[in-house]
Amino acid sequence: PPVLSLSGVSKTYGPTTALADVSFSLAPGEVVALVGPSGAGKSTVFRCVTRLVDPDNGSVSVLGRDLAGLGGRALREARRDIGLIFQQFNLIGRMSALDNVLAGRMGHVATWRVVARMFPAADRQLALACLDRVGLLDKAYQRADSLSGGQQQRVAIARVLAQRSRVLLADEPVSSLDPKAADTVLGVLRTVARENGIAVLCSLHQVDLARRFADRVVALRGGRVVLEAPAGALTPTA
């Protein structure tokens, strides 16, 4: 069964069609690249999945639950299944890598508990294990803002692992990185997705990165899916 599924999703903003009858789904451990020019609807897909906006038509389900019916506590729980990473890494710079990962484990509202070091030792062990899985165990006690961009984005991936999310939405995760760091981050993303059965939906500007790192590519244009194909079927171009 799919982990994330969009079915006939449409969304308009006044006269603008942001999404028109968009359907696709992600299996556990699968990395799907969402590509398309600016304005194609990529961010609107992410907003519909996190329910920052509600689709006009169609439905979005996470782990078989239709998000439309959820509110309050059930919606908060569903959102916990969805990990987010962004172009700007959204770490707390003055906190250590480890504490940033712990903050994901404890939930954002409980960051003060991390600051006050009020968390079970088991959580600390889990957070260290997550940093190990992204290759950053040796950076655990460094301030987040002292790390390279690629390292910061790997801390953000570790934070999602600690949260035990089943779906990871990555909104232009490598747009601010140099090519070598971008390759490292996408390689780590793919490895942890496969190892942990996390479905990753990742928007990318460069089709070449999608071809090399994704399992499947969904291309949007004018809010419509214009191509859905195995990444290996794309021809290598820059």
Residues binding ligand ADP (CB under 6 A): 13, 16, 18, 36, 38-44, 135, 148, 150-151, 181, 184, 187-188, 191
124 Cβ partners below 8 Å, 6+ apart? Answer: 98, 102
1 Cβ partners below 8 Å, 6+ apart? Answer: 64
> Which stretch of DSSP H or E encloses residue 169?
strand 167-171
State in angstroms the smallest separation of the CB of 113 from ligand ADP.
29
In a 3-state reduction of DSSP, which class is residue 229?
strand
State in angstroms the smallest separation of the CB of 42 from ligand ADP.
3
State in angstroms the smallest separation of the CB of 77 from ligand ADP.
26
The Cα–Cα gap between 19 and 62 comes to 19
16, β-bridge pairs: 13
Query: In the complex with ligand ADP, which residue's Cβ is closer, 44 or 96?
Result: 44
Query: In the complex with ligand ADP, which residue's Cβ is closer, 179 or 187?
Result: 187
In a 3-state reduction of DSSP, which class is residue 223?
coil
State in angstroms the smallest separation of the CB of 99 from ligand ADP.
19
The Cα–Cα gap between 114 and 125 comes to 14
Query: In the complex with ligand ADP, which residue's Cβ is closer, 9 or 106?
Result: 9
Side by side, which strands form the sheet with 82-86? 82-86, 167-171, 199-203, 31-35, 216-221, 224-230
Q: For residue 171, which amino acid is it?
A: D
Query: In the complex with ligand ADP, which residue's Cβ is closer, 60 or 188?
Result: 188
**Closest of 105, 109, 110 to residue 131, by C-alpha:** 105
Query: In the complex with ligand ADP, which residue's Cβ is closer, 11 or 105?
Result: 11
State in angstroms the smallest separation of the CB of 74 from ligand ADP.
26
Query: In the complex with ligand ADP, which residue's Cβ is closer, 44 or 163?
Result: 44
State in angstroms the smallest separation of the CB of 135 from ligand ADP.
2
**Closest of 55, 49, 51 to residue 19, by C-alpha:** 55
